[in-house]
Amino acid sequence: MKSQQQQFAEGVLFTDFYQLTMAQVYHRMGIHESKAQFDYFFRSYPDYGIHQAGYCVNAGLETFMDWVSEAYFKESEIDYLRNLKDANGRAMFTPEFLKYLQGQSVATGLTLRAVPEGRVIHPYVPNAIVEGPLIFAQLIETSLLNHLNYQTLIATKAARIYESGMGQAMLEFGLRRAQDRSGFAGARAAIIGGAAGTSNVGASAVLGYQPSGTHAHSMIQAIVAMGGTELDAFEAYAESYPDACILLVDTYDTLNSGIPNAIKVFEKLKAQGHKPVGIRMDSGDLAFLTIQAALMLNKAGFPDTKIVLSNQMDELVIWQIITQIKEESARYGLDADNLISRLAYGVGTRLITSEGDPALDGVFKLVAMQQDNAWVPAIKISENPEKTLNPGYKKIWRLYDQSQKAIADVLSLEGEDLCHLEAIHLHHPTDQTKQRVLNCAQISKVEKLHETILEDGKLVYEFPTLEQIRQTRADDIQRLHSGVRRLMNPHNYHVSLTDKLWNLKEELIFQYTNGTKG
Amino acid sequence: MKSQQQQFAEGVLFTDFYQLTMAQVYHRMGIHESKAQFDYFFRSYPDYGIHQAGYCVNAGLETFMDWVSEAYFKESEIDYLRNLKDANGRAMFTPEFLKYLQGQSVATGLTLRAVPEGRVIHPYVPNAIVEGPLIFAQLIETSLLNHLNYQTLIATKAARIYESGMGQAMLEFGLRRAQDRSGFAGARAAIIGGAAGTSNVGASAVLGYQPSGTHAHSMIQAIVAMGGTELDAFEAYAESYPDACILLVDTYDTLNSGIPNAIKVFEKLKAQGHKPVGIRMDSGDLAFLTIQAALMLNKAGFPDTKIVLSNQMDELVIWQIITQIKEESARYGLDADNLISRLAYGVGTRLITSEGDPALDGVFKLVAMQQDNAWVPAIKISENPEKTLNPGYKKIWRLYDQSQKAIADVLSLEGEDLCHLEAIHLHHPTDQTKQRVLNCAQISKVEKLHETILEDGKLVYEFPTLEQIRQTRADDIQRLHSGVRRLMNPHNYHVSLTDKLWNLKEELIFQYTNGTKG
């Protein structure tokens, strides 16, 4: 696809066809401007197989809003829709409907409340609530899901990987395995989740980060094939980048060739007044090789040079390497904490694709329609109680205990104010036997989670910088109990409904299952 | 990211930073225009956990070439690179290097030979071979890997899903779970692999396919919340699309409400002279519900209406549904084959993300450099013999047996011509104990797999249409032995080296491991 086609394919037509067919039905029925409310939420944390997330990191909002700001039904889009025919040659869309759409922004009349990027989020808590004309609320669904699902998925994976590295630099290297042009969004989400930067040059440029990377095996191989040696290649690299010199040492033989050659180059750099940055290893038993590399570098007088590890890194591999270093360092006379603190990680495929669970199951569900200025809850009864919606217009709260740790996210009805209650009666979203009462003395803070992003179609939110979003993420993860942050088998964070919301849901389920509705 | 930023981020800077740092080293050493050869290949078929692919379907070439055609070092890109500094504030790139790049196409001087899209491909067989100036061959690496890895991954998954559906229509519905703007590439690859279309409107527009989709639960819920009923909603839909009417029947109760209401609407349509298209079911026990739905539709006089199934579909789920229909139809007086032939599948998340294995492990490796007009093989010895490259300049062949089925892909040296041999001596790529000799009588056809796409930087290839690519895919899968096509535990398709290539590889490994090289 050429870039001109991209703008056409990824503007307002970046959507599923049924959004448009439904839009026409709404228009024909005259309910298209009736006010609707849709909730965006996910149902389960990513589960990577042998380990699973206990929290997610919210991301993608600004990227989605960039799309919204450019998503108009321009003449070219209307022309395309006008020419669509059904199998019998009948036009799919009527002139009246297309006339209505023409020139309209997809955000017309919409109010969007959402959890800011970087915040920790949990299942069933509406991460975004869209309110406004049914037709436009429906028309933004696909793009909203696309942008928020993916970046939240990757920010979550990145946060896990970063946490497993115990605060050391983690770099996003995945563009070659990214799913097409998800590379930008993936890099952005990785930075939100904890990556210090990305190898993706274009994404770095747009995001204002320094791109990361040094050289590949191919540089060594090319120079060797031209009659040179690994050492020649390292020297050539060091001449070009004397103050940013990281050498990849595993092209031929890490311990017998790569590291000794790197040390020779580092000595030369040092003599010239430069500080060598480090080595990178991309194959082999990385825990073992890290210890050996540290011994060799220390002995040569480079106790501070970084050791960058890459090759199918993820939170589990990093955890295993660190565990092994902790167990074995002493035997080699090395200080484990010191060694761990000189590591850095280049993380590719498994981050950018969220390997193990490559999709967040976020959904966008109609929960209420307005009639005569009152909200009528819309509910879909599912055979699976977990899937039955939490109805109606809601507020979202987070409660903190006396140790300033988050203990529950709470969904209430619109009129409720949890800040001024003596005690809060909480219900599990689906299991009526699970209830508890929190009294004021147990709660240090009650926080509203949503910010207003769009108001009646206008952007009313000032987007934070990526650095601010990163700080939000770090703070929020800090405010989780350690059990929730665990790499495997994390504690279940509580998501609860207030009495009033629980009662409304019960009442609606009763009405529907007894046939008085629907 | 706004669309203007997209063009900047996803042009020639859609790359890993180290491609640029290496490029500068090559330039500084004066070897940047030395001729290099890189092979693109993958090492293993996607493995989805309990099942795995026995073949891949090649895709992404035209999309990659669209990128190439627009990837120039324009002033804006050069300005960006000029301003990049290392940690000490020293410019990363020299004026000489940037002057060399300015205005250049990333394809300058490159020749690209590649397997056409839609063809079945196998591990270790170079799917693309790039030859030309070292600097540009290196600079296209990231984008080539990105585009070909992802579309091949998705075309492969789509082919599996389509095959499991026994020829019935399969539609790509995954945009909401796609990884950001991979939606277009994913939809394109899905169509190559066998999807009849996609719900992605923008992608449909650019690719020239009719977009697919009808309505969601939200349409029913909205109308019910406004005081209507499921039947009202169905009727409203049918009025707008009398000749394209597929109704989603599982919003409240599939068997007691959805299907009876759909039948009422279908009767009305029929009376008006329209032909109802079908129903869609998106939850519950779909094998059981399919049989029940067929019974109800048949009884009502709609034995031909389609039954579209969605909800976490993949090749295994479809196989399970079809198996159950085969086992149980007779008991209900239904003809299983007839029922299977009225099914269609809406496939979302698990296709667009290739769930189970979300990345193809394709790599782009330097295999030879030219010196004095002769190719010098470049080889990287790995501790893992599977990872040791097949060296030098190669040709790629496919052999067919007397039943016209493909039996082996063969890598030979450039000078070899497999069309005119009495017998072909084949070696397993890494296991020297595995050899075999095929004589002429066993072989019905010897086919060269590569087409020339770029010649000295110029496009010399006429891209086939998507429909032609789909036909290529169908023909190639037809030419696989059934064991290779199997859903689980497929036969190993043979990929072999000729005597001469095997001997060259052995010799080089010997030279390197004995220290006479590198």
Question: How many beta carbons lie within 10 A of that of residue A233, not counting itself?
Answer: 27
- Per residue, the 3-state secondary structure of A148-159, as one string, reads HHHHHHHHHHHH
What is the Cα–Cα distance from B386 to B52, expressed in whole angstroms? 19
- Tens of pLDDT, residue by residue over B418-444, are 877 788 889 988 888 888 898 888 899
**Contact residues on chain A for B219, CB-CB shorter than 8 A:** 22, 25-26
Would the CB atoms of A366 and B218 count as touching at under 8 Å? yes
- Look at residues A131, A52, A184, A190 and name the one whose alpha carbon lies nearest to residue A485: A52
Q: Using the beta-carbon criterion (under 8 Å), do A178 and B146 form an inter-chain contact?
A: yes
CB nearest A205 (choices: B80, B177, B215): B80
**Angle, nearest 10°, between helix axes A141-164 and A61-70?**
150
Which amino acid is located at B315 in the chain? E
**pLDDT at position B385, please?**
67
**Yes or no, beta carbons of B201 and A34 under 8 Å apart:** no
- Beta-carbon neighbour count of residue B331 at 10 Å? 8
Q: Do A214 and B359 touch (CB under 8 A)?
A: no
Return phi, psi of residue A39, to 5°: -105, 135
Q: Note the CATH number of domain A213-347.
A: 3.20.20.70
Bridge partners (DSSP) of residue B395 are B412
Q: How many CB atoms lie within 10 A of CB A27?
A: 21
Q: Give residue-wise pLDDT tens across range A111-166.
A: 999 999 999 999 999 999 999 999 999 999 999 999 999 999 999 999 999 999 99
Nearest to B130 by CA among B353, B330, B368, B354: B368
In eight-state DSSP terms, residue B492 is P
> How confident is the model over B251-277, as a mean pLDDT?
97
Minimum CA–CA partner of A202 in chain B:
B9
- 3-state SS, residue B411: strand
Around B412, how many Cα atoms within 13 Å sit in the side-chain half-sphere? 24
Would the CA dihedral through B60, B64, B65, B67 be positive or negative? positive
> Do A177 and A353 form a contact (C-beta atoms < 8 A)?
yes
Q: CB A227 to CB B142 under 8 A?
A: no
Report in angstroms the alpha-carbon separations of A138 from A23, A273, B62, B218, B311.
Answer: 7, 62, 33, 8, 20
pLDDT, residue B423, reads: 85
Count residue pairs from A and B with Cβ separation < 8 A.
385
**pLDDT tens figures, A50-100:** 899 999 999 999 999 999 999 999 999 999 999 999 989 999 999 999 999
Do the chains contact at A13 and B201, CB–CB below 8 Å? yes
Taking CA atoms, B353 is separated from A16, A56, B314, B357, in Å, by 17, 19, 11, 8
Instruction: Answer yes or no: are the C-beta atoms of A21 and A138 closer than 8 Å.
Output: no
pLDDT above 70 as % of chain A: 97
Place of tokens 């819309």: A378
Contact list in B for residue A205 (CB cut-off 8 A) is: 8-9, 13, 80
Condensed to tens digits (0 to 9), the pLDDT of residues A384-437 reads 666 777 777 789 999 999 999 999 999 999 889 887 778 888 998 888 888 889
10 Å Cβ neighbour count for B95? 9
Which residue(s) pair with B412 in the sheet? B395
Quick check: A201 and B21 CB within 8 A? Answer: no
- Is residue A7 exposed (0-12), middle (13-18) or buried (19+ Cβ within 10 Å)? middle
Separation between Cα atoms, residue A106 and residue A12, nearest integer Å: 7
Taking residue A281's Cβ as centre, other Cβ atoms within 10 Å add up to 23
In chain B, which residues have their Cβ closer than 8 Å to the Cβ of A227? 371
Q: Looking at the predicted complex, does its ipTM rise above 0.90?
A: yes
Ramachandran quadrant class, A295 (left: phi over 0; alpha: psi -120 to 50; beta: rest): alpha
Contact (Cβ atoms closer than 8 angstroms) between residue B55 and residue B158: no
Looking at per-residue pLDDT, the higher value among B421 and B189 belongs to B189
Q: Choosing among B7, B32, B146, B180, which should be mutated to test the A contact, i.e. which has the most A CBs within 10 A?
A: B180
Angle between helices B286-299 and B315-328 (to 10 degrees): 50
* Among candidates B17, B34, B149 on the partner chain, residue whose Cβ is nearest the Cβ of A211: B17
Alpha-carbon gap, residue B506 to B514, rounded angstroms: 12
Pick the residue from chain B with its C-alpha nearest to A229: B518
**Residues of B whose CB is below 8 A from A358:** 179, 353-355, 358
Sketch the domain layout of chain B as residue ranges.
213-341
As a whole number of angstroms, the distance between CA A396 and CA B513 comes to 64
CA distance A64 to A69: 9
| CA atoms of A244 and A230, how far apart (whole Å) | 18
Average pLDDT of B247-261? 96
Q: Where are the beta strands (DSSP E) in B298-401?
A: 306-309, 343-347, 363-371, 374-377, 394-401
CA of A81 vs chain B CAs: smallest distance (Å) = 9
* Interchain pair A134, B1: CB under 8 A: no
pLDDT given at position A361: 95
Q: Which of B176, B241, B249, B373 would you mutate first to test chain A, the one with the most A CBs within 10 A?
A: B176
pLDDT in tens, B445-478: 999 999 999 999 999 999 999 999 999 999 999 9
Q: Which of B6, B25, B252 sits opposite A381 (nearest CB)?
A: B252
* Closest in A176, A376, A517 to B149, CB measured: A176
Chain B residue numbers with beta carbons less than 8 Å from the beta carbon of A361 are: 177, 349
| pLDDT tens per residue, range B475-515 | 999 999 999 999 999 999 999 999 999 888 888 778 777 75
Average pLDDT of chain B to the nearest whole number: 94
Which pairing describes strands A494-498 and A458-459: parallel, antiparallel, or unpaired?
unpaired
Mean residue pLDDT across chain A? 94
Instruction: Taking residues B2-8, report their average pLDDT.
Output: 90
Best CA proximity match to A14, nearest among A56, A62, A67: A67
Instruction: Scan for tokens 């790599």, then name that residue.
Output: B363
Place of tokens 């983690």: A170
Chain A residues in contact with B216 by the CB 8 A cut-off are: 18, 22
For residue B203, the chain A residue with the least C-alpha distance is A9
Partner-chain contact B381 A38, CB within 8 Å: no
Structure-block tokens of residue A474:
């770090």
Looking at residue A390, its pLDDT comes to 78
Instruction: State mean pLDDT over B215-241.
Output: 96
| B518 pLDDT higher than 60 | no
Give the alpha-carbon dihedral of B12, B353, B117, A5, to 10 degrees.
Answer: -50
pLDDT tens profile B359-393: 999 999 999 999 988 888 887 766 666 677 777 77
DSSP state of A497: E
Going by C-alpha positions, the residue among A66, A95, A65 that lies closest to residue A81 is A95
Give the dihedral sign, CA B126/B132/B137/B140.
Answer: negative
What pLDDT does residue A160 have? 98
Q: Cβ separation of A145 and B177 shorter than 8 Å? A: yes
Question: What is the CB neighbour count within 10 angstroms for residue A323?
Answer: 12
Selected from 3.20.20.70, 3.40.1190.20, 3.40.50.300, 2.40.37.10, the CATH number assigned to the domain covering B213-341 reads: 3.20.20.70
Cβ A236–B512 below 8 Å, yes or no? Answer: no
Nearest Cα to Cα of residue A348 among A318, A320, A317, A313 = A313
User: What are the Cα distances from residue A82, in Å, to A91, A93, A465, B45?
Assistant: 7, 6, 41, 43
Judge: B173–A16 Cβ closer than 8 Å, yes or no. Answer: yes
From chain B, pick out residues whose CB is under 8 angstroms from the CB of A145. 176-177
Residue A382 is predicted with a pLDDT of 65
* Residue A19 token pair: 């959004």
pLDDT over 70 for what percent of chain B?
97
A166 min Cα distance to partner chain B (Å) = 23
> Encoding tokens for residue A264?
């020779």
First to last CA, chain B: 45
Q: Which amino acid is at A12?
A: V
- State pLDDT tens for residues A211-266: 999 999 999 999 999 999 999 999 999 999 999 999 999 998 999 999 999 999 99
Closest CA to A469 of A60, A88, A21: A60
Q: Is the pLDDT confidence value at B516 over 70? A: no
Contact A243 B90 (CB under 8 A): yes
Give the pLDDT of residue A370: 93
Helices A315-328, A141-164: axis angle to 10 degrees equals 10
- The arithmetic mean of pLDDT across residues B327-338, rounded, is 97
Query: Cβ A243–B13 below 8 Å, yes or no?
Result: no
Going edge to edge, which strands form the sheet with A170-172? A197-198, A170-172, A343-347, A306-309, A278-281, A246-248
pLDDT cut 90: percent of chain B above it = 84
Q: What pLDDT does residue A131 have?
A: 96
Q: How far is B370 from chain A (nearest CA, A)?
A: 8
Inter-chain touch A138–B185, beta carbons under 8 Å: no
| d(C-alpha B85, C-alpha A209), whole Å | 12
Q: Using the beta-carbon criterion (under 8 Å), do B243 and A25 form an inter-chain contact? A: no
- Does residue A513 surpass a pLDDT of 80? no
Q: How confident is the model at residue A41 (pLDDT cuts 50, 70, 90)?
A: very high
CB contact under 8 A, A150 and B80: no
Nearest to A222 among B36, B240, B517 (CB): B36
DSSP string, B356-378: T------EEEEEEEEETTEEEE-
Q: How far apart are CA B505 and CA B196, in angstroms?
A: 44
Contacts of B184 in chain A (CB under 8 A): 1, 6, 9-10, 180
H or E element at residue B329 = none
